[in-house]
Amino acid sequence: MTQTIARQGMTRRQLLSRTVAAGAAAMVLGTGFIAAPDAAWAYETTKLKPETFATLVQMARDIYPHDRIPTENYVEAVKGYDSDDAAAEIEAGIAALDAAAQGAGFANYLDAGWEADRVKLLRGMEQSAFFQKIRGGLVTGLYNQKAVWPLFGYEGESFSKGGYINRGFDDINWL
């Protein structure tokens, strides 16, 4: 089963020693793994090419960029596409994105090192079914991860804590 193998299995040195390609948010490893440059997380693709998955992760961050959300949450948000059902469509979509990047003078999407350049490429394809599928999926895939809620200050479930009647429902002090 596909899984994020964050912080396990390999040391940073081992990961780095196996790197054969690098993206902005992730490094593609020769073994089918991609990983964070600092080895905070790693992911083994099963159906998608690792380069494709790394591009998808970067695309996800460029669509909904939150500077305080670590990349592993973007990985989590899109890893469902690394499946038999979705792989062909994703490979085709990322190929189109890379083609658009080449048209703009980059080797591929990840080669566009500045966010502004990548966003320009995405704006050019935002009406496409592929873009809308990825964007739509992220709305729940990213923002419904409980792990990201604290980064927005959102506290989630409160019934088990007795609600906020004694925990600051009216504690505003700056008005």
Positions in the binding site for another protein (CB under 8 A): 63-66, 68, 119, 126, 135, 139-140, 142-144, 148-149, 152-160, 162-165, 167-172, 174-175
Residue 89 Cβ, how far from another protein at the closest point, in Å? Answer: 19
CA–CA separation, 135 vs 81, rounded Å? 13
- Based on CB atoms, which residue is closest to another protein, 30 or 169? 169
What phi and psi values does residue 68 have, to the nearest 5 degrees? Answer: -95, 0
Structural tokens at position 130:
């592929």
CA distances from 125 to 96, 97, 112, 121, 157 (A): 9, 8, 16, 7, 37
CA–CA separation, 37 vs 24, rounded Å? 9
- Based on CB atoms, which residue is closest to another protein, 49 or 66? 66
Residue 37 Cβ, how far from another protein at the closest point, in Å? Answer: 22
Residue 71 Cβ, how far from another protein at the closest point, in Å? Answer: 15
Residue 70 Cβ, how far from another protein at the closest point, in Å? Answer: 15
- Based on CB atoms, which residue is closest to another protein, 105 or 156? 156
CA–CA separation, 119 vs 112, rounded Å? 10
- Based on CB atoms, which residue is closest to another protein, 48 or 142? 142
